């Protein structure tokens, strides 16, 4: 079974798709009115971590920041590139702390993309291809079924492959396939021998995105927010601020960091929505979510990586505690019927959910607190890096942003998601 095709990543932190189930398993149902609760709450509360100088814009637009906290989830229904921005399956890369996974995007993308040389480009109906490098990724059947002797990445680096790669592929990331004249890579002549004629092209194929890129996308959108602050583009400030709040929220959900994202590998299908949606909806009003003031983030890449690595260490507890409770809790007290929006659904009972939260020793509450602090610190850091611009004169979001929001709502309501299949399918 190919895990990358099993799942559409479940993107929201504490996301918004309420669970229902039969026969003791959970699944998610799509109803906006039931969900997105936590994302909106987290962005709203992050506003109160900011200094007074940022309040004229952020406090005045708190409803925008809250309402549009869910736009990245809707964007999954509009573009196939959105889904991987919400998660990263760290455990496909080996053992914690995953030192074989480069922390810089260009290096990670290069290392986990395959490389083929194309021969007979002219005069042949079907050009020959020669696979010279294929990345090793745990759990990937495509890798397991291939001869692992397809070269070592260090051999490519020795041929200045990174220098060839950097000015080309990252800029073309949203325009695959990535095919370039091999003459652009002078070092290749000393290495490759193609069927009696010159090799003509190089074909590079991405194998990292399907396992998620949230750790790489967060610094990118952080820079976009900083740029909007520096340019005084308040419409984009609000959009990027709302968006990065969402992604930071996702980075604090343990099941956004593992290939076993929904318990599908351990017989716990539906645990994702149980942890990130059902528990916050039931108990967040009793959580202490007032955190300290936002602080400046010195190294953004390290900060976001530290968040995700810390979050990932919670995965075993999230899964093992739920399994232990399911085995010991009375079966007829695990799932309850509830009326929602003129429907009767089955979802984890309040007492079962409370027992899970208590056994985790308040993990969901702690992760929500960390999220609020991290969102506020991200916003504050962008403002400082932009030179602390005056946010006092409010400018409403322009019409183009409203048009995009309306479009996202329409494609979301059609319910056709790009990428991995939904967990209830």
Tell me the per-residue pLDDT of 97-123, one tens digit each, with 9 for 90 and over.
999 999 999 999 999 999 988 876 655
pLDDT digits (tens, 9 = 90+) for 301-342: 999 999 999 999 999 999 999 999 999 999 999 999 988 777
pLDDT digits (tens, 9 = 90+) for 372-387: 999 999 999 999 999 9
State whether 46 and 180 are in the same domain: no
Cα–Cα distance list, 87 to 83, 149, 317 (Å): 8, 30, 19
State whether 369 and 240 are in the same domain: yes
Does residue 54 contact residue 379 with C-beta atoms inside 8 Å? Answer: yes
Those residues with Cβ within 8 angstroms of residue 87's Cβ, 6 or more apart along the chain or in another chain: 9, 10, 11, 212, 214, 250, 256, 257, 261
Within-domain flag for 104: no
State whether 275 and 393 are in the same domain: yes
Chain centroid to Cα 323, Å, comes to 25
The yes-or-no verdict on residue 195 having pLDDT over 80 is: no
Q: What is the mean pLDDT of residues 194-203?
A: 67
Work out the pLDDT band at 93, boundaries 50, 70, 90. Answer: very high
State whether 243 and 161 are in the same domain: no
Place of tokens 């506020």: 376
Within-domain flag for 7: yes
State whether 148 and 77 are in the same domain: no
Q: What is the number of structural domains in the chain?
A: 2
Q: How many residues does the chain have?
A: 425
Does residue 157 contact residue 102 with C-beta atoms inside 8 Å? Answer: no
Q: Which of 207, 240, 255 is the last residue of a domain?
A: 207
Q: Provide the 8-state DSSP code for 275.
A: I
Q: Which of 151, 177, 207 is the last residue of a domain?
A: 207
Q: What is the mean pLDDT of residues 113-141?
A: 73
CATH number, domain with residue 408: 1.10.575.10
Q: Provide the 8-state DSSP code for 343.
A: E
State whether 267 and 400 are in the same domain: yes
Which of helix, strand or coil describes residue 345? strand
Structure tokens at 420: 């991995």
pLDDT digits (tens, 9 = 90+) for 265-298: 999 999 999 999 999 999 999 999 999 999 999 9
Paired with 345 in beta bridges are 338
Q: Which of 175, 207, 239 is the last residue of a domain?
A: 207
Dihedral, 394, 395, 396, 400 alpha carbons, nearest 10: -160
pLDDT digits (tens, 9 = 90+) for 386-415: 999 999 865 445 555 554 555 555 554 555
Within-domain flag for 193: yes
- Spell out a b/e string for 376-389, using b for 16 or more CB atoms within 10 Å of the CB, else e: bbbbbbbbebbeeb
Cα–Cα distance list, 112 to 88, 109, 135, 290 (Å): 14, 5, 5, 41
State whether 87 and 217 are in the same domain: yes
Structure tokens at 63: 């409803």
Cα 169-305-376 angle, rounded to 5 deg = 110
State whether 231 and 84 are in the same domain: yes
| N-term to C-term CA, the chain | 15
State whether 66 and 154 are in the same domain: no
Within-domain flag for 323: yes
The yes-or-no verdict on residue 26 having pLDDT over 70 is: no
Within-domain flag for 217: yes
Report the alpha-carbon distance of residue 345 to residue 339 in Å, rounded.
Answer: 6
Average pLDDT, the chain: 83
Work out the pLDDT band at 8, boundaries 50, 70, 90. Answer: very low
pLDDT digits (tens, 9 = 90+) for 44-84: 999 999 999 999 999 999 999 999 999 999 898 888 999 99
Within-domain flag for 307: yes
Within-domain flag for 229: yes
Q: What is the mean pLDDT of residues 215-240?
A: 97
State whether 89 and 155 are in the same domain: no
Within-domain flag for 419: no
Which has the closest alpha carbon to 396: 159, 200, 238, 285?
A: 238
- Domain ranges, residue 239: 3-95+212-414
State whether 301 and 368 are in the same domain: yes
The yes-or-no verdict on residue 34 having pLDDT over 70 is: no
Structure tokens at 353: 């959910």
State whether 203 and 216 are in the same domain: no
């Amino acid at each position: 079974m190919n895990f990358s095709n099993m799942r559409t990543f479940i993107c929201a932190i504490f996301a918004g798709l309420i669970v229902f189930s039969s026969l003791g398993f959970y699944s998610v149902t799509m109803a906006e009115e039931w969900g997105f609760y936590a994302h909106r709450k987290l962005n709203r509360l992050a506003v109160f971590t900011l200094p007074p100088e940022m309040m004229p814009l952020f406090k005045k637009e708190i409803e925008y920041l809250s309402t549009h906290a869910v736009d990245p989830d809707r964007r999954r229904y509009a573009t196939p590139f959105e889904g991987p921005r919400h998660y990263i399956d760290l455990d496909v890369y080996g053992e914690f702390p995953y030192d074989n996974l480069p922390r810089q995007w260009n290096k990670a993308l290069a290392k986990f993309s395959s490389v083929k040389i194309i021969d007979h480009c002219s005069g042949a109906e079907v050009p020959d291809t020669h696979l010279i490098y294929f990345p090793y990724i745990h759990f990937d059947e495509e890798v397991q079924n291939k001869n692992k002797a397809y070269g070592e990445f260090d051999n490519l680096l020795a041929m200045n492959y990174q220098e060839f790669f950097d000015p080309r592929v990252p800029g073309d990331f949203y325009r695959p396939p990535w095919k370039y004249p091999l003459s652009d890579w002078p070092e290749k002549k000393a290495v490759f021998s193609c069927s009696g004629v010159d090799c003509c092209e190089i074909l590079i194929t991405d194998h990292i995105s399907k396992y998620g890129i949230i750790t790489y996308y967060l610094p990118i959108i952080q820079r976009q927010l900083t740029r909007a602050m520096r340019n005084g583009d308040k419409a984009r400030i609000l959009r990027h601020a709302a968006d990065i709040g969402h992604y930071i929220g996702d980075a604090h959900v343990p099941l956004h960091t593992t290939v076993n994202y929904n318990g599908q590998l351990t017989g716990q299908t539906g645990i994702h929505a149980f942890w990130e949606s059902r528990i916050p909806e039931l108990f967040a009003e009793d959580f202490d979510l007032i955190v300290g003031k936002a602080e400046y983030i010195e190294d953004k890449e390290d900060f976001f990586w530290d968040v995700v690595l810390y979050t990932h260490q919670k995965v075993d507890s999230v899964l093992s505690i739920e399994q232990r409770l399911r085995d010991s809790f009375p079966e007829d007290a695990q799932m309850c019927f509830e009326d929602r929006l003129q429907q009767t659904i089955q979802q984890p009972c309040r007492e079962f959910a409370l027992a899970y939260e208590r056994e985790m020793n308040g993990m969901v509450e702690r992760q929500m607190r960390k999220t609020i602090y991290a969102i506020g610190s991200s916003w504050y850091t962008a403002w400082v890096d932009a030179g602390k611009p005056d946010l006092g004169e409010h400018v409403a979001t322009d019409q183009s942003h409203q048009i995009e929001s309306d479009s996202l709502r329409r494609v979301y309501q059609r319910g056709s998601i790009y990428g991995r299949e939904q967990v209830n399918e």
